[in-house]
Amino acid sequence: MTTALTNLLDLDPAQLVAYCGELGEKPFRAKQLQRWIHQFGASDFSEMTDLAKSLRDKLATRAFVAAPAIISDHTSTDGTRKWLVDVGQGNAVETVFIPEENRGTLCISTQAGCAVNCRFCSTGKQGFNRNLTVGEIIGQLWMAEFELRKTKGIEPGPKGERQITNVVMMGMGEPLLNFEPTVTALKLMLDDNAYGLSRRRVTLSTSGVVPMMDKLSQECPVALAVSLHASNDVLRDGLIPLNKKYPLRELMAACKRYLEFAPRDFVTFEYCMLDGVNDTDAHARELVALVKTGDTAVSCKFNLIPFNPFPESGLKRSHNPRIKAFAQILMDAGIVTTIRKTRGDDIDAACGQLAGEVKDRTRVQERMQKMTEYQQKFGKDFGRIVEISG
């Protein structure tokens, strides 16, 4: 009977120690392995010259190191770089690198598709297929770091200039609905023998899975971003269906509990600016009341995100003067507020645009095609037909 090979990218520091123990090796060998894999980008065991040859031989027959294969690699006019990577079973996910003057941020996906189905997000409109493995999550960081170094001619190794200084779990999927693999990947990002990132420089974004927020605070608290996008429950129910299960009062309470363990003393609320939907002065004042008064008050900052339109949403981006006026109301109330600069939209790498290629579990494309055919057939009566048919 053949034994399945182990992808060492799937193992966090403690798991790698245990794996080396199974091979009859001492714990320090795990640290050596980690450095070769995550700091030098090595995938060939024969290159790991400070490992005993007997260990290299064992590894060659029992293990491998493999990140998802790159399908495409595009760079935007603003320097943003997007990779489409193969995660098997007909699915691919997207990973985006955003270079800035004093940092480089990598946006990582945790699921092929997404089950949360937020109205303004193109990923959710394609449905959900499966959770990514640890190796597929951390493999995006592994791939991107060494692809970026290769492009710049930087030698791999701990002394080589790190290209990725910040990681955000804001790509495809809801990280907290793929909890264990996501946390294992986070532990690798933070480990000094792997990427050595600060907890303050790793941000997990959630649409508000309250029980898993509490669990994350105990197992691996990193910086937290919450996809808020609405100032009241009725509005948020329509934009983020998960709100019906975990409404704003519960979400704010979970944010406050999380801050007791978080590396930052505030939660970042992401707020997608949707023309005529959630962007009025009244909505801004309602947000101020939500986060500054009563038992929902929480230490926070706001990140206002200009919506990136896609056909299935039926939504439009708020106009720039409206976004600025909205931001001013929040700032006048003493809330730190930023307006996210749109990056990479010419290669569909901007916030909310990540769709990858995922098996369409919700048959969205098929339904959209049928609606187009009906519209062509019935013309101006199409709207009334849809309304009657429900």
**Contacts by residues 240-243 (CB-CB < 8 Å, ≥ 24 positions apart):** 240/116, 240/118, 240/119, 240/207, 240/208, 241/116, 241/117, 241/118, 242/116, 242/207, 242/208, 242/209, 243/208
Give the C-alpha distances (Å, rounded to integers) separating 353 from 7, 75, 346. Answer: 30, 15, 11
At 338 the three-state DSSP class reads: strand
Q: Which of 94, 147, 174, 270 is catalytic?
A: 94
- What angle, rounded to 10 degrees, do the helices at 248-259 and 210-219 form? 0
57-91 in b/e burial notation, b at 16+ Cβ within 10 A?
ebbeeebebbbbeeeeeeebeeebbbbbbebeeeb
353-364 in b/e burial notation, b at 16+ Cβ within 10 A?
bbbbbbeeeeeb
Give the whole-angstrom CA distance, residue 158 versus residue 162: 8
Q: Which of 107, 118, 272, 351 is catalytic?
A: 351
Give the whole-angstrom CA distance, residue 141 versus residue 259: 26
The count of C-alpha atoms lying within 13 angstroms of the C-alpha of 275, restricted to the half-sphere facing its C-beta, is 12
At 143 the three-state DSSP class reads: helix
Give the C-alpha distances (Å, rounded to integers) separating 354 from 109, 270, 344. Answer: 9, 16, 11
94 catalytic residue (yes or no): yes
Choose among 181, 188, 182: nearest CA to 170: 182
Q: Which residues are annotated as catalytic?
A: 94, 351
